[in-house]
């Protein structure tokens, strides 16, 4: 849960330009005396010409000046972020993860605990555009995708993308794309009323392995795997829904879905990408992992693996706590009982083969979890976690500070390092998360004479690889 990389490991993370490392370290070029963020779009220098620093102040003290392109002095964790709770990063996450169709910039600023004017200044300094422009760009990108790949009506696309009026949607769309939504939309001969969305990935993608992972961990009533597809019920705030995912052509995954009301598709897309790890670069990851020569043959056999994510971080945390020191089958039998005990019954569509939404933290607190197979210590851990989530002292949606979230999780009685690493890897999107105390991983590392130190910063993918061996 801490960065403790050597030079070569820092360089691997730097080459990947993966946003998950932004703000966690800085890269300085000796020849130009400039230091950057790991996500900087500038051409990458050779390793021998670089220095790496954990803090931007260290780079400045060493005589480096900040890059004008990536503005490292304003990266997550820098002085520009401290004191405002990583304001800009949280704002961008909220734009991705929250329903902002009725939230103004003033309301967003209030939610972040800052003034609207200060929020605009922070965005201008750190991102280069004001928050309205960034949010508008996100909405338009989603609406364009929906026009191309969904069967939603244009008005539904406008409202689902976060616009409050058709006229404003049409004007903004025409300004950016130089065509109206109706002009750009593909002509469809089908009269199918299903809502469909397609999201792209970088190949290869081990779809069968992903499906098998979910299949072995199905929560009865909430999820279902059949005909090489994955489906589940989803809940967030007042929204209730269902989706089914299947592999399709041209390196895309197709999502058929139903929602009980118009929702901001920005949030929907972000969560789907997290579940199926659609933003990762498998080639960059493989280039690092194959440096462990004992692991190299396995990479060829199990290429295209992804880290299975989750729809909801709280649900994943409950899964991890329940799964401590028992078999996967036993854990999901108990999870099914938890859902039956306090999960909300779905009224979305009686034809669905699924019956319940996974319970919220509030419903967990109201329920009696005795006599369903849980030990008293696990009931106490689950209750303590639910209380922290309800009180908002722990956030598991990725908008909170990563280190602080891990620290707070570890402070909960009964939540150990294995549990936190699983949550970090699958819910908080830490690509280096590695449950090193996992008995199965330890056994395979010894049997195959592997070297986990060579896997940084992609240890999470190595864990998935080892779990897949003989699975």
Give the active site residues: 36, 438
C-alpha distance from residue 458 to each of 10, 97, 228, 454 (Å): 11, 25, 27, 9
Q: Which residues contact 35 (CB under 8 A, 6 or more apart)?
A: 26, 27, 28, 29, 53, 56, 59, 60, 64, 65, 66, 67, 72
Determine the Cα–Cα distance for residues 400 and 15; give it in Å rounded to an integer. Answer: 26
Helix, strand, or coil (residue 8): helix
Helix, strand, or coil (residue 165): coil
Helix, strand, or coil (residue 193): coil
Upstream peptide bond of 112 is cis (omega within 30 degrees of 0)? no
Please check whether residue 405 is in contact with residue 394, taking contact to mean a CB–CB distance below 8 angstroms.
yes
DSSP output for 350-369: TTSS--EEPPPHHHHHHS--
Q: What phi and psi values does residue 300 have, to the nearest 5 degrees?
A: -70, -35
- The alpha carbon dihedral of 386, 392, 397, 400 has a sign of negative
C-alpha distance from residue 178 to each of 126, 152, 168, 182, 284 (Å): 29, 21, 15, 12, 36
Q: Which residues contact 199 (CB under 8 A, 6 or more apart)?
A: 145, 252, 253, 255, 269, 272, 273, 276, 278
Determine the Cα–Cα distance for residues 432 and 13; give it in Å rounded to an integer. Answer: 10
């Amino acid at each position: 849960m801490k960065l403790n990389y050597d030079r070569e490991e820092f360089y691997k993370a730097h080459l990947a330009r993966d946003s998950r490392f932004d703000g966690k370290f800085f890269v300085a070029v000796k020849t130009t005396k400039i230091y950057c963020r790991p996500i900087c779009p500038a051409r990458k220098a050779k390793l021998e010409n670089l220095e790496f620093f954990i803090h931007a102040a260290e780079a400045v003290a060493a005589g480096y000046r900040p890059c004008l392109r990536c503005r490292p002095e304003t990266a997550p964790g820098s002085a520009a972020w401290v004191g405002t709770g990583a304001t800009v990063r949280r704002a961008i996450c909220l734009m991705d993860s929250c329903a902002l169709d009725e939230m103004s910039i003033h309301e967003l600023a209030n939610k972040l605990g800052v003034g609207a004017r200060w929020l605009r200044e922070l965005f201008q300094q750190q991102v280069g555009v004001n928050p309205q422009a960034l949010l508008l760009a996100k909405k338009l990108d989603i609406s364009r995708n929906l026009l191309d790949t969904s069967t939603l009506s244009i008005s539904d696309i406008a409202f689902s993308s976060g616009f409050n009026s058709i006229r404003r949607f049409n004007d903004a769309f025409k300004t950016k794309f130089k065509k109206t939504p109706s002009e750009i939309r593909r002509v469809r001969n089908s009269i199918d009323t299903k809502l469909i969305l397609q999201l792209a990935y970088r190949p290869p993608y081990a779809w069968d392995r992903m499906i098998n992972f979910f299949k072995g961990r199905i929560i009865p009533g909430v999820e279902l795997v059949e005909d090489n597809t994955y489906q589940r019920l989803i809940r967030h705030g007042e929204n209730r829904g269902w989706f089914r995912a299947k592999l399709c052509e041209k390196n895309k995954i197709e999502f058929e879905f139903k929602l009980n009301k118009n929702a901001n598709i920005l949030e929907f897309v972000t969560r789907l990408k997290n579940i199926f790890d659609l933003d990762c670069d498998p080639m960059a990851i493989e280039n690092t992992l194959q440096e462990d020569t004992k692991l190299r043959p396995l990479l060829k056999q199990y290429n295209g693996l992804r880290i299975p994510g989750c729809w909801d971080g709280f649900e994943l945390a409950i899964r991890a706590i329940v799964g401590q020191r028992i078999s996967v089958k036993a854990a999901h039998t108990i999870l099914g009982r938890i859902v039956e005990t306090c999960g909300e019954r779905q009224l979305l569509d009686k034809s669905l083969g699924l019956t319940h939404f996974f319970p919220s933290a509030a419903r967990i607190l109201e329920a009696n979890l005795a006599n369903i197979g849980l030990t008293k210590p696990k009931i106490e851990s689950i209750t303590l976690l639910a209380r922290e989530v309800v009180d908002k002292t722990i956030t598991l949606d990725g908008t909170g500070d990563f280190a602080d979230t891990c620290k707070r999780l570890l402070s909960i009685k009964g939540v150990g390092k294995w549990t936190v690493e699983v949550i970090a890897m699958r819910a908080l999107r830490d690509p280096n998360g590695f449950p090193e105390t996992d008995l199965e991983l330890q056994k395979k590392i010894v049997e195959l004479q592997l070297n986990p130190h060579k896997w940084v910063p992609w240890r999470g993918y190595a864990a998935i690889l080892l779990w897949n061996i003989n699975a």
